[in-house]
Amino acid sequence: MGCLTAPFKLLALLLFVAALALAWLYRDRLGDIGRAAWREATGRPAPAVDSGMPSPAALERAERKVESLARADSVILTAEETASLFQRGLEPYSRAFFDSMQVRLGAGTIGVTTIVRTDRLPSGLLGPFGGALREREPVSADGAVRVTGPGRGVWEVRRLQFRDIPLPRDAIPRLLGRATGDSARSEVPLALPARVGGVQVRPDGVTLYREAR
């Protein structure tokens, strides 16, 4: 009898180990699901998020605000103005790979939803995910922005999703490293106006500071 049940015990053990591995890889997703369920159970509203798309007019307004940092300690950008500066700051990536972009402002994070031209990505970049993707795929990513020097910053991507396929958080640095050609890099380089010394992101706007914060 013990010999008959042994394979089932082994299968149950393997399934348990696989479940633990998936829970660890997607621990950030499970945390989000748990927080969403708690909000629904307690009747609390979801965090407010403002969004906007780039435009030439919004970019012009943002540039005027940045120039005013020569006289002011800080300026506040709308979601549309942030999206316009962010799109320019992500070049050449945005020009080569993105068809469109929408920016979401959260508490300390900037989220981007875009259509990525996966056929233009470096060969083998997506590994086993590559075969499941079409030439153009919706992609969503979230991360914090940090100033690293005059005119320089990074976007620290903490969440990345192709279509409805979320990537494990631990896999994101490896993917970004291959995309930027720097295996040691875990962020996306971001060009910032030279006058910007600090950035604070809130759901209702992005504050740019003249001095580092």
Q: What is the pLDDT of residues 91-146, one digit of tens each?
A: 877 766 777 889 999 999 999 988 877 766 655 555 555 566 677 778 888 999 99
Same domain, 38 and 54: no
Pairing of strands 74-77, 205-209: antiparallel
Same domain, 12 and 116: no
Q: How many domains does the chain divide into?
A: 2
For the chain, give percent helix, strand, coil, nearest 5: 45, 30, 25
Same domain, 102 and 205: yes
* Averaged pLDDT for residues 76-96: 87
Same domain, 54 and 37: no
What is the Cα 90 distance to its own chain's centre? 12
pLDDT at position 138: 83
On the question of pLDDT at 208 being above 80, the answer is yes
Sole residue written with tokens 């962010």: 86
Pairing of strands 136-149, 110-117: antiparallel
Sole residue written with tokens 């010999």: 3
Same domain, 119 and 186: yes
What's the length of the chain? 213
Alpha-carbon gap, residue 152 to 199, rounded angstroms? 12
Same domain, 31 and 105: no
Same domain, 150 and 172: yes
Candidate ranges 11-25, 53-67, 124-138; pick with highest mean pLDDT: 53-67
pLDDT at position 24: 43
On the question of pLDDT at 155 being above 80, the answer is yes
pLDDT at position 22: 45
Same domain, 85 and 118: yes
42 or 29, higher pLDDT: 42
C-beta separation of 183 from 170 below 8 A: no
Give the range of the structural domain holding residue 36, as residue numbers without chain letter. 2-42
Same domain, 153 and 130: yes
Same domain, 36 and 111: no
Candidate ranges 6-10, 32-36, 207-211; pick with highest mean pLDDT: 207-211
* Averaged pLDDT for residues 20-48: 50
Same domain, 67 and 125: yes
